[in-house]
Each structure stands twice: as structure tokens, then as C-alpha cells.
Chains A and B, each alone.
Chain A
């Protein structure tokens, strides 16, 4: 059976052709300027919050009168409050984004509450302190992202 001449010519076409110019600078500029994808912005926060929640849950034996959290936790609470005010002052975020931020904060706040409860029973346990610190860092991270977030077009 004879081969179609068109097929023969098609087989000779290069499957890969380098563009005449380097396109990467334009791509790099676009992905640097664009807001980070939503999944990438929040996913680490959710993982950290979940970790904090898990550690605190394992160790938590709630005492009726919890011990006060360490001083660094107070500093983080203050910083977090200031950031939260800045986020609330934004009026250019869509309701969906605001709702997503609030959902994240609710998860993290639950983790912080559990960590603080666990800390009252295990005040020197480094795992609890680490979990609490991570939870606060996560809260600051989420709020900083929310404060600096470019509104979606």
C-alpha cells in the first residue's frame, strides 16, 4: 500500500520549534505581578493550622482555670489585632474573599484556643508551645496576605 505523500511530509515536521525570542521574561513578569493563586496563598496556612490543632488536641487536658499564655503570645495577639484592623478597613475585597479569610481565621483561632488550653496543663511542653507559636504565626501570615492582597479583577 502506497504511503500518502502528505503523511510523508507531515512526518518531517518538527514537533518542537523554539520561539524566535525568549518568552520567559514576559511570563515571569506576569506571574510575579499577578496575585498568587488562591490555593497557594491559603494552603500553607491551612496545613499549619491543622498541625497546630492536631498537636493541641493530642495534648489538651482542659483545666478549669487556664494559665495565662506566654508574653510572646500577647505580642502576637497585639500584632494580629493591628493587622485585623487593617484588613477590615479594606473595602475592595470581594465578599467571597472576605468569607474565605474569615473561614481560615476561624480554623486558626480554634487551634489557638486548643493550644492555650493545653498549655495550661503542660506549660513547659515544647510541643504545645511550638504548636501555639505556629498557630499565631499562621494567623499573622493569613492576615498579612489579606492586607496585601490585590483585589481580583
Chain B
């Protein structure tokens, strides 16, 4: 993500759907939802460490995206809606609205069938879910979503140094648990 953007950046494939949604077309917004719900749900589930809560957070993320479409300044809609999801997760964390019940991701649709066994994936998902919240947030954004420490620091209102420290802590905890 930190690499410079090439000059011949292709147009966002969602651009026409976004334009229609901006005009109030809910079916266009539903198409955007279908396109991106998997990435948003995975992000919410991993950051929240709670698959059930992630469903509600995913819904809130898309509702907030609908309400704030005027704030979308073009570019990558997929990245924009995931940033909204990150804020929704953090808002939920701050509000302490509900008791956390840790449940690992049960659905691994979309996984590469040639990759590790499902049990190994579930072990990792479970281990990520058990990380302390701040370390988990940084780890998911940095190691899974590919954000830079600068981007993480800006969105999580922490310093880049803290982001690096939390990532280091998360990796150490995961290696300990998984070994």
C-alpha cells in the first residue's frame, strides 16, 4: 500500500455503481454490498474477535457507507468501505455496548483449497481472536489487510511507534500460541 500509484491507474470497477448509488439507487448499493461484504465481514470478524458481533458491525458499516456516500471522493470504493468498517469496529470497542463472546470464524469460503488445512486456519483465526484488542487491531490491519504503520497510526489515533510495538507484540504472542 505504501508503493506509489502508477500513472495509468485503471478506473475503479465500482465507479458506475457508486454513481448510481449516489443518486439514491438502492439496488446499485446492494450490488456494491454483494461485491464487498466478504472482505468487510472478514475484517470486522478478525478485528472484533467475534464472528457474531461481526455480522452486526458489517451491517452498521454498510449503513454508514450509504449515509456517507457524499464523502466518497472517488478512488477505491473497496478500500473506502473497509476504512469505514475499521471505524465502526473501533466505535463499538469504545462504546462497550455488549459483552464479548469469542467465537472463531466458522465459515472459510473463499479459501485457497491448496493452502493449509482448515484446522490450521481455524487455529490461526482463534489465536488472532484471543490477542489483546489493541494488538489484534494493529495485527489485522498490518499483517492481514496490508496497511502501513502510518495508515494504522492515523486511523487508530496512535503513533507509528506504538503501531510497530503492537505488531511486534502480536506476532510474539501468536508465535508462542501456535508453536
Contact = CB atoms under 8 A, between A and B. Distances in A.
A30 B39 CA distance: 21
A92 interface: no
Given A23-B58, A24-B33, A30-B63, A17 B105 contact: yes
Nearest to A36: B24
Nearest to B120: A9
Interface centre among A5, A17, A21, A40 (most CB of B within 10 A): A17
Contacts of A95: none
Nearest to B125: A13
Interface string A22-43: 0110111011101011011000
B107 A20 contact: yes
Interface string B28-39: 011001100111
B59 A14 contact: no
A18 interface: yes
Interface size class of B (residues with CB under 8 A): 35 or more
B70 A13 contact: no
Contacts of B66: 27, 31, 37
Contacts of B70: 37, 39-40
Contacts of B24: 36, 40
B59 A30 contact: yes
Interface in B114-133: 115-116, 120-121, 124-125
B30 A24 contact: yes
Given A12-B115, A19-B107, A27 B62 contact: yes
A37 B67 contact: yes
Interface in B34-58: 34, 37-39, 41-42, 45, 51, 54-55, 58
B156 interface: no
Given A10-B143, A10-B144, A20-B107, A15 B30 contact: no
A14 B111 contact: yes
B8 interface: no
A65 interface: no
A6 B178 contact: yes
B178 A9 contact: yes
Given A14-B111, A37-B70, 5 more contacts: A12-B120, A14-B108, A15-B144, A16-B109, A17-B105
